[in-house]
Structure 1
Amino acid sequence: MVTRHGKICSFCGEPGSKDLQLIGGLGAQVCVTCIDDFHAIVHDEEKRAEAKGTFPWETMSDAEVLATLPQIMASAEQNTAFAHEWVDLLRERNISWAEIGRTLGVSRQAAWERFARKGGDKSESA
């Protein structure tokens, strides 16, 4: 089942909680704080001009970039887990491994090898 439980904000890395609501779809999750921050930038011409063309890592020290790497990996792992949940959802709907593979541009076997859960859906047919 696809769930937001245990997810983190894909932008700031904060875990969702009762106090920090996450909103999202297609793997990315965003907290209300990041939405508010983004809204402030989008609706303030000066802040928008300041942010335009600037990437966070351009002003970060090496130590800050290194410290951010675990958040980047957590977000990537979250998206990988979401892809697995999505494939599980498709399999529950009796979508074949062949169709999943075709959609991903890989063979049925490659899709199965990547997404079949150990102890879960091991069927190679359907």
Structure 2
Amino acid sequence: MTKGSVVNRCSFCNRSAEDVDTLVAGAGVYICDACVALSAEVIKNKPDGPKRTTPVWEGIDDDTLLAHLPRIDAIRHQVDDDLRCWVGEARRRGMSWDRVGEALGMRRQSAWERFS
């Protein structure tokens, strides 16, 4: 692997493509075969009752919360790398910094400073 190359990782468990059997790519996200299997099991055995989309903060102790932060940060870096690739492709296709900035909700200058 060359210096500066992007290593694709599962957006859920953060394992690299080299550490899994299959890594499926989506729009800026990836999921490995193990996480697909786990997701299928969760869906199959989902409990009845109200749906909750955010963590139950009261049920997470301080150490667990802190242990989760590096995983979130690693995924943030993966998303940033993916965004750079997508912006790079937009520029390779000749799209202006105005269009790129508009798509990202920022000014042309801000897009150029962040991605050039």
Shift of 1:52: 3.9
Look up the match of 1:60. Answer: 60
Provide closer, same or farther for how the CA distance between residues 111 and 71 of structure 1 changes in structure 2, counting only shifts above 3 A.
same
- CA deviation map 1:76-99 (0-9, x unaligned): 111011111100001111111111
| Aligned counterparts of 1:50 and 1:8: Cα–Cα separation in 2 | 33
Residue identity in the other structure for 2:70? P
Unaligned runs of 5+ in 1: 117-126
**Equivalent residue, structure 1, for 2:99:** 99
**More displaced 10-residue stretch of structure 1: 70-79 or 20-29:** 20-29
Identity value in percent: 34
Q: How far did 1:54 drift?
A: 6.9
Letter in 1 for 2:105: G
Partner of 1:122: none
Indicate if the aligned counterparts of 1:23 and 1:29 stay in contact, CA closer than 8 A: yes
Q: TM-score, normalised by structure 1?
A: 0.74
TM-score with structure 2 setting the length: 0.79
Q: What displacement does 1:111 show?
A: 0.9
**1:56-109, Cα deviation, whole Å (9 max, x unpaired):** 564433212211111100001110111111000011111111111122222211
Any idea what the Cα deviations from partners look like across 1:20-77, whole Å, max 9, x if unmatched?
Answer: 4221222221111111111112123xx3438942755644332122111111000011
Relative distance call for 1:9 and 1:51 in structure 2 (3 A) is: farther
Q: In structure 2, how many angstroms separate the alpha carbons of the residues matched to 1:25 and 1:85? A: 13
Amino acid in the other structure paired with 2:13 = C
Count of residue correspondences = 110
- SS of the equivalent of 1:17 reads helix
Query: What SS class does the counterpart of residue 30 from structure 1 fall into?
Result: strand
